[in-house]
Homo-oligomer: A and B are copies of this chain.
Amino acid sequence: MRNVDKHDVPAVTVPRLALYLRKLRELRSRGVDRVSSKDLAEMIGLNAAQIRKDFSYFGEFGTRGVGYEVARLVDEITHCLGLDHSWNVIIVGAGLMGTALARYRGFAEQGFRLVGMFDSSATVIGASYGAGRVRGIAELEGFCREEKVDIAMVTVPAGEAEATIGRLAAAGVHAVLNFAPVKVQAPDGVLVRQVDLSSELMSLTFYLDRELD
């Protein structure tokens, strides 16, 4: 296998790997055991060469003239994405979005262990939403260090997101999925991905407004 430094992998390839993995798992569960880049491309709606090139950053997973073995490919991509072991996740902010996420069972299936949930409001501290009792925000740093938290999903109000992410960074959490509608300047060494529903809706209205042509 050749060099797999993150700097060799285009940023856009990574989310596509997740896409491939999902489709491949589906194929596997349907009993399909071989697939070509052409088939996969058609199923997902991409170019076949793109799929092959994406794989090529990590190794040679297929057989010329034949295609890819689905089970092998699932294992390889699982490994590429770091999903061959589990990750400790917390939710900061036990509002509407935070509690919906806490109750969602889809994450556990992918190896994401929800180990804690935090909020600043006395009215929800102690309540339970499928992730143990909600802890007070004061416990955040201690908990993150002790429990080796890998990822925080931040669902606090916009005005608190920056400070929250700063605290997480200081407590050694290196990855954040931020649902607050602010683009936060990521502290050094912290990876922040933004989930921004208003922005998504606005991208839709942009094209809707131009659809008359």
A123 within 8 A of B: no
Is B19 within 8 A of A208, CB to CB?
Answer: no
Known pairs A185-B45, A207-B6; A177 contacts B202 (CB<8 A): no
Interface size class of A (residues with CB under 8 A): 35 or more
Which of A49-98 touch B at CB < 8 Å?
80-83, 87, 89, 96-97
Is B197 within 8 A of A195, CB to CB?
Answer: yes
Closest to A211 in B: B174
Chain B residues whose C-beta falls within 8 Å of the C-beta of A208 in the assembled complex = 82, 87, 150-151, 174-175, 191
Give complex CA distance A200, B19 in Å. Answer: 10
Among A4, A83, A205, A211, the one with the most B-chain Cβ atoms within 10 Å of its Cβ is A205
Of B17, B96, B196, which is within 8 A of A18 by CB? B196
Give complex CA distance A124, B174 in Å. Answer: 39
A170 within 8 A of B: no
Known pairs A175-B207, A181-B22, A196-B18; A202 contacts B100 (CB<8 A): no
Is B22 within 8 A of A182, CB to CB?
Answer: yes
Give complex CA distance A18, B181 in Å. Answer: 11
Is A206 within 8 A of B110, CB to CB?
Answer: no
Per-residue CB contact flags for chain A residues 88-128 toward chain B (1 = under 8 Å, else 0) read: 01000000110111011011001010000000000000000
Is A14 within 8 A of B97, CB to CB?
Answer: no
Give complex CA distance A151, B106 in Å. Answer: 25
Is A18 within 8 A of B183, CB to CB?
Answer: no
A residues within 8 Å of B by Cβ? 4-6, 14-15, 17-19, 21-23, 44-45, 80-83, 87, 89, 96-97, 99-101, 103-104, 106-107, 110, 112, 150-151, 174-177, 181-183, 185, 189, 191, 193, 195-211, 213
